[in-house]
Amino acid sequence: METRRIGDNGPEVSLVGLGCNNFGMRLEAEASIAVVHTALDAGITHFDTAEMYGGGRSEEFLGRGLGARRDDVVIATKYVPRPADQPYTPGVLRQRILDACEGSLTRLGTDHIDLYYQHYPDADAPIDEALETLDELVQQGKVLHVASSNVSGPQVFAADGVARDRGFARFEVCQFEWNLLQRDAETELAPTCRQHGLQIVPYFPLASGLLTGKYRQGEDFPADSRLAANAYFASVATDANFAKVDWLTGYAQEHGHTLMELAVSWLAGQEGVLSVITGATKPEQVRANAAAAGWALTEADYKAVDAGLAALA
């Protein structure tokens, strides 16, 4: 498994990471731990979770699954800001972050978080309060690197300016949805991250499974699939996207690869990408995901994919 380094002096992470959002929701403890163990065996060292996944059980199950291997991996987790119905007053976000960090450390069974994300920005609090608090956690050694998720280009720009001006720990990584069927980030967000030196961690690289090839247009979704379980995720299964999947499948097969290998490798080869987060509910899915980043696409491949998808737009 190829590895890439966080920043200039951070830890190395596997090019394919494991998203743990299924833990505590679609998977109970035993199944979650089996997925973690399979990921470790496959060379995955980047585990991505959040305090909101499974109401905290994702972090708990991940910590139990890693056990004595904790120091062999990079744990990324995320805090959510204050509840939307709680009025903002100065200091309330700071306390929310401090409490969230302590809760995550306890559930994970560790004394530090390698990569700590702002899961999404607080709607009213100034970014200064979040950055100052995160910097405090870095100074205490409870957090090693800080990151942001689900932000816009202007929010990346503003946060980086504040961190540099005030000498706070900077967001080093930005995580957002990006795949062959969802490319909005390419317009503004990804270029802004590159401009300000933030590494990119794409999530939903397989478009909720549509880019695995397991779904067929006009057929019912498999009973145990994400699209069958959640109407929000099922919204990706449009006629237009199925047409793109058909074209992408043909392109991958012509070059001796699978659709999933194209989807993951296409992201892995993008400028600034640190690691690609892939979710799984079964050990065999973990192994397939871990092996999917081995296609080194050429510039000609990228141009061909762009042209093929543009022709279907």
- Our answer to whether residue 79 is catalytic in this structure is no
Q: How far apart are CA 110 and CA 102, in angstroms?
A: 10
Structure tokens at 92: 């309330």
Task: For tokens 């590895």, name the residue.
Answer: 3
The SS3 assignment for 125 reads coil
| Stated length of the chain | 313
Is the Cβ–Cβ distance between 266 and 297 less than 8 Å?
Answer: yes
Catalytic, out of 53, 79, 117, 215? 53
- Listing DSSP states for 22-89 in one string gives TBTTTB-HHHHHHHHHHHHHTT--EEE--TTGGGGHHHHHHHHHHGGGGGGSEEEEEE--S-TTSPP-
Active site residues: 53
